[in-house]
Amino acid sequence: MNKPTFRIRTKEENKLIMDTMEADFGSNVLVAFKEYDFWIKEGKVKEVFTVPKESSDLITKISILEPYSAGIPIGSILSNSFHLEIEGAYMISNYTSKKITVKTVQFLYGKPIFKENITKYEEDFDKNDQIIVIGENKLFYGVGRAEISSRELSSLEENTIVIKGSRKKPLDVGWYLRGGS
């Protein structure tokens, strides 16, 4: 019998996902996933879905048929690392202060965020930290990795990239127009 391509996470995968999110965004974010199970879709990368318990139980029961997707895709596992993507970041955005607010929509086109685009950051961040990006009117824009630490911000020149954009990865909600459907 073939190994299922859509299956519930292993204990190790569950730990990897939870530990990564806790390390990147703080322990409060784990609350966002309390009522859900993680499911994995095997492929070139392992796609991670968060599925409400009720749906999760039903999918388990009808194991003869494999879902194409279920619940919300929140990220992927590649080379034993968990990578948070758009909807996972959306789910945790109200539970973390690892956030910056920007005054440009350029990030939604896969473009970088420059020093002068940032209007606020809620908590200090270090180089390589994952940060939720919020736009005007508190709209969720996505998630990105810091190229510099917040302590360096005041001493840097304009046009310094703080967060790189990505046209190819599902990290900002603009991805829904670029390639998400």
Partner 1 sequence: MSLQKEYDVFELGSKLGYLPYMIDRFIEMLGECETKELIKFNETTLPQSIRLNSLRNSFENSERLLKKKGIQLEKNTEFPESRTITKSPHPIGATPEYLNGFYILQGKNSIYPPRILDPQEGELIGDFAAAPGGKTSHLAQLMNNKGIIIGLEISANRCRSLKSNLSRMGVENTAVFKMDARNAKDFNLQFDKILLDAPCSGSGIIINDPTRKKSKSLKDILHYHDYQVSLLTTALNVLKTNGELVYCTCSLEPEENELVISDILKKVDVKLSEIEVKGKPGITKFLDMDLEKNLTKTRRLYPHETNGEGFFIAKLVKNYE
Q: Which residues contact 1 (CB under 8 A, 6 or more apart)?
A: none
**51 counts as binding partner 1 under rule CB under 8 A:** yes
b or e along 73-85 (b: 16 or more beta carbons within 10 Å of the residue's beta carbon)? Answer: bbbbbeeeebbbb
Q: Which of residues 64-93 bind partner 1 (CB under 8 A)?
A: 64-73, 86-87, 90
Q: Distances in Å between the alpha carbon of 100 and those of 51, 59, 103?
A: 28, 38, 10
**Residues 104/72/128/177 CA torsion (nearest 10 deg):** -40
From candidates 23, 31, 139, 167, binder to partner 1 by CB under 8 A: 139
C-alpha–C-alpha distance, residues 174 and 15, integer Å: 30
Taking CB under 8 A as the rule, does residue 52 contact partner 1? yes
What's the min distance (Å) between Cβ of 100 and partner 1?
16
Amino acid at 173: V
- Does residue 173 belong to the site contacting partner 1 (CB under 8 A)? yes
Beta-strand pair 81-84/72-78:
antiparallel
In the complex, least distance from residue 179 CB atom to partner 1, rounded to whole angstroms:
9
Tell whether residue 161 is a contact of partner 1 (CB under 8 A): no
Cβ-based nearer residue to partner 1, 135 or 144: 135
Residue 180 makes contact with partner 1 by CB under 8 A: yes
Q: Which residues in the 96-135 window bind partner 1 by CB under 8 A?
A: 105, 108, 135
CB of 30 to partner 1, least distance (A): 17
Told to check if 166 binds partner 1 by CB under 8 A, we report no
Burial level of 159, CB count in 10 A (0-12/13-18/19+)?
Answer: exposed
| Residues near partner 1, by CB under 8 A | 36, 50-52, 54-55, 58-59, 62, 64-73, 86-87, 90, 105, 108, 135-137, 139-141, 173-174, 176-177, 180-181
